[in-house]
Structure 1
Amino acid sequence: MNMKLVVTGETLCTRRHSCYQDKPFLDLVEIIRSADIACTNLETRIHTFKGAPMPADTMGQEQSYQQADPFVADELKWMGINMVARSNNHGMDFGAEMLREEAEILDAAGLVHAGVGEHLAAATRATFLETDNGRVALLSVCIDFPPHCPAGPQGPEFPGRPGINAIHHETRYALSDSAFDSLATIMQDTGQNKALREDQILAFGKIFERGSENTLRYTVDKADLERNCRVIADAKLAADQVVVHLHQETEGHYPEEHVIALAHALVDAGADVVMGDGPHLLQGIEIYNGCPIFYSLGNFFYQSETIKIFPPDMYIRNGLGIDALPQEAIEYRDAVRSGRLKKDNIRPLRSGDEYKEWHEAVLGTLTYEGGALREIRLHPLWHYHEKRSQRGLPRIADRETGDRIIEKMAEYSAPFKTEISNEDGVGVIRI
């Protein structure tokens, strides 16, 4: 079996792109169309506001609402995308009605999709795409999400709950004696004695335990992991290649240990490729047991700055008033995220040069010969523009920018002992 597979990062697409004729864009389209399979994570939500927005309280202070019109599905299909992952932190921005409408729109466009469903089993289920060169399965999982997002299990008397395919992690903090005692004092002084136990404090929705030093420990939910591993193993029997999309929100360019451990478990279960995203920044690539793990491919599209309308919840949360306009909300959000405007409970996410890093991405093409992975080519992408109206459309980066991106990817991949060479402006990994 000879096959070419394309993987990308987050698609936050809100505008038409089939009208563009410049060479850097059309070169990218040609690469995608040349592949048998082209996968992306649909981070935007495609719908017409049939569903109700989730409460701002559960969305979180840092998260906005995503929306794109149905034509975006057709535009992605035009581009050559044919498999779409949907399990991410925006998977339920407008509730179950949105989830159902989006599925109808994707089906009508001929896009195979996975990662959400009417109940937990449906959200976990693999989907398949037939090609002349083989059959590919797609699963989509998310480990960082608002509390309203996870799908619920169905039972004899309950239909289940619509949502995303979530893999939960328990978070526990170990504190040194001095730090533990200081936190205990704070809890006592503020009248929260019921949160104190002998060697444990419940604070800020987290568990703090006495330890030798200050550390953070994640423990994956075994039932969530086993459920997904069973589906991966099952899909492996029915497909030539299994792609698992992993949405995670590690800050910075290096994934955290629990993300790495989960990615390894997915490969051990039978995943041939792990396609990662979530940090809005590039992260490295690991070849684990012969299978590539792309921890984060960056933002493939980044057009969330031209969403046409937001629900009143977002305007009110931001203190703008119920009659605020979309670009006023974007201006406010960017001021907070950049640190130009300080607001309680919101951390600056992209100050200084980091904002431009949100516009660096990589498109990976994987070449299989005789069923074996032979080569990975990393095409550097760049979609920054001074004007918001032109920002966010992926294009093959110019040579100087592309060389910089490839150099960064080599640096981020070095801890995994993955060697990336720059061959004529394309990063190359030979297996």
Structure 2
Amino acid sequence: MKKIISFVLFIFLMGCSEPAMVEKEVKNLALKADDVVLEKDLDETVPEFLRKHSEPVEIIFVGDVMMEMSLKNTINSKGVDYPFIHVKDDILQADYAVANLETAITTSNNSYAKQYNFKSNPKKLEGLVNAGFDLVSLANNHTLDYQEEGLLDTIKYLREYGIEYIGAGKNSEEAYASHEVLLNDQKVKFLAFSRVLPDVSWYATKDKPGIASGYQEERVIEIIEKEKENTDYVLVYMHWGIERASRPEPYQRNYAKKMIDAGADAIIGAHPHVLQGFEFYNGKPIAYSLGNFLFPDYITGPTAETGLLSIIIEDGEVKMKFNPFYIDNDVIVDKGDDYRKRMYKYLEGISYDIFIEDGEIKPIN
């Protein structure tokens, strides 16, 4: 029955959508179904001409999304799509898009005892969906701000809105699991871990909801090695580092290299709330921090600098591109060529042996 429905919807989409949008929507039909689609069923569900071609894969990653404080009023008055109006087209043109959701999606008031607790109304997830996001990382230090109830609510509402998640779950099996997608005939797995958590009680266990901890390097390495065995590419989203630091800590550079040695094809970081630099190791890209992506209007300067990181898979290589934006009064804006040039120069200065040409981040050697 699912295949029949998918085919009917595919015919409808063919009649009303651009080719790029058709491809993305057809994949989502197979990959976002309520029940599990086996790989062989997935291959039969996605039409042959969409599965077998040599076009590159573009996966967009963004940093922290926190729809609290001023954003509540802005979204309520201007609509769920308003913050994303200037980036939506770029995101929708990609094959897949991933964000770090640093907000519990819940109506609970049972907060965890800590300095900052963030939550959002479920309706606000509609803006992420409409902007083109397919997957969110929950591996961060705010997903359990409203305790286990808030995490389970978040998972429930993400499922209702058709957004996949990684990095947390109702138990450790779910929290440490990868999410696999088929993009242009390439199997890509996503993993997420957090090395910034308030307490060990936030760790997911066999019988308790929680977060995928990134503190235990040996376990993370073993998971990456296992996940790489039966896939083409493994991309890791890691929550780590020091807030407002423009460069990663030495442990982060060493940790990133260990993950790549274990089989990771790209490492993407968040948590510092500012952009950090880039690096390549054994030909694999590392983006140490993507900073904030959507944050309330109290941010300014470096904490408001943001952008879209494109991980591009082409002819067996994994490449990086970055398109700078700026968060201004609750909307992500394009500040023009002069801003882009300034940001590229700045990012080159805080990176490691790279240069940026027309947005593409390239190793010097």
Matched, 1:3 2:57: yes
Q: Distance in 2 between matches of 1:370 and 1:36?
A: 16
Q: 1:77 aligns with which of 125, 129, 135?
A: 129
Distance 1:264 1:19 in 2: 38
Deviation, 1:19, is 4.3
Residue 96 in structure 1 maps to residue 34 in structure 2: no
Say if 2:255 is the partner of 1:262: yes
Q: Which runs of 5+ in 1 are unaligned?
A: 169-223, 306-333, 335-349, 385-390
- Answer yes or no: is 1:301 the counterpart of 2:315: no
| Correspondence list, 1:169-248, <5 A | 224-248=216-240
Counterpart of 1:411? 349
Residue type of the partner of 2:349?
Answer: E
Instruction: Give the fraction of aligned pairs with identical amino acids, expressed as a percent.
Output: 27
The aligned amino acid for 2:320 is I
Partner residue of 2:340?
402
d(CA) in 2 for partners of 1:38 and 1:112?
11
Question: Contact 1:117 / 1:151 at 8 angstroms: preserved in 2?
Answer: no
Which of 354, 360, 365 is the equivalent residue of 1:428? Answer: 360
Which residue is 1:12 aligned to? 66
Residues 42 and 86, structure 1, Cα contact 8 Å, conserved in 2 = yes
Does the 8 A contact of 1:87 with 1:114 survive in 2? yes
Q: Which residue of 2 aligns with 1:365?
A: 310
Q: Distance in 2 between matches of 1:82 and 1:370?
A: 24
- Compute the displacement of 1:420 (Å): 1.5
**What is the rounded CA distance, in whole Å, between the counterparts of 1:151 and 1:244 in structure 2?**
18
- In the TM superposition, residue 249 of structure 1 has moved relative to its aligned partner by 3.1
Given that 2:202 and 2:210 are in contact with CA atoms closer than 8 Å, whether structure 1 keeps it comes out as yes
- What's the TM-score, normalizing by structure 2? 0.76
- Mapped to 1, the partners of 2:360 and 2:269 lie a distance apart of 18
Question: Which runs of 4 or more aligned residues in structure 1 lie more than 6 Å from their structure 2 counterparts after TM superposition?
Answer: none
State the distance in 2 between where 1:239 and 1:403 align.
Answer: 37
- CA positional deviation for 1:395: 2.3
Of the two, which has the highest radius of gyration? 1
Task: Quote the offset at 1:133 in angstroms.
Answer: 4.1
Separation of aligned partners in 2, 1:292 and 1:229: 17
Secondary structure of residue in 2 paired with 1:363: strand
Aligned positions, number: 300
1:118 aligns with 2:170: yes
Cα distance in structure 2, aligned partners of 1:149 and 1:78: 34
Alignment-mate amino acid for residue 392 of structure 1: D
Cα RMSD (Å) of the superposition? Answer: 2.2
Q: Is the 8 A contact 1:4 1:365 kept in 2?
A: yes
1 CA distance for matches of 2:163 and 2:63?
17
Residue type of the alignment partner of 1:164: I
Q: Measure, in 2, the Cα distance between the counterparts of 1:237 and 1:146.
A: 33
Q: Give CA deviations for 1:367-417 in whole Å, capped at 9, x if unaligned.
A: 2222322x4221001013xxxxxx23222232232222221111111xx21
2:96 maps to: 37
The 1-side partners of 2:196 and 2:81 are apart by 35
Structure 1 counterpart of 2:322, from 371, 378, 383: 378
CA distance in 2, matches of 1:83, 1:371: 23
CA-to-partner distance for each residue in 1:44-70, whole Å, 9 max, x for gaps? Answer: 221121x62112xxx2xxx41111111
Which among 370, 393, 397 is matched to residue 331 of structure 2?
393
- 3-state SS of the aligned residue for 1:429? strand
Q: Does the 8 Å CA contact 1:8/1:364 hold for their aligned counterparts?
A: yes
Amino acid at match of 2:171: H
Q: Deviations along 1:114-173, whole A, 9 cap, x unmatched?
A: 11123333221112233344332111111122115532433xxxx2x32111233xxxxx
In structure 2, which of residues 201, 212, 215 is the aligned counterpart of residue 165 of structure 1?
212
TM normalised by structure 1 equals 0.65
TM-superposition CA deviations, 1:1-56 (whole Å, max 9, x none): 531111111111355465449xxx5452111111111111111221121x62112x
Equivalence for 2:43? none
1:29/1:80 contact within 8 Å kept: yes
Give the distance between the partners of 1:275 and 1:79, measured in 2 at CA: 20
The letter of the residue matching 1:11 is V
Does structure 1 conserve the Cα–Cα contact (< 8 Å) formed by 2:57 and 2:183?
Answer: no
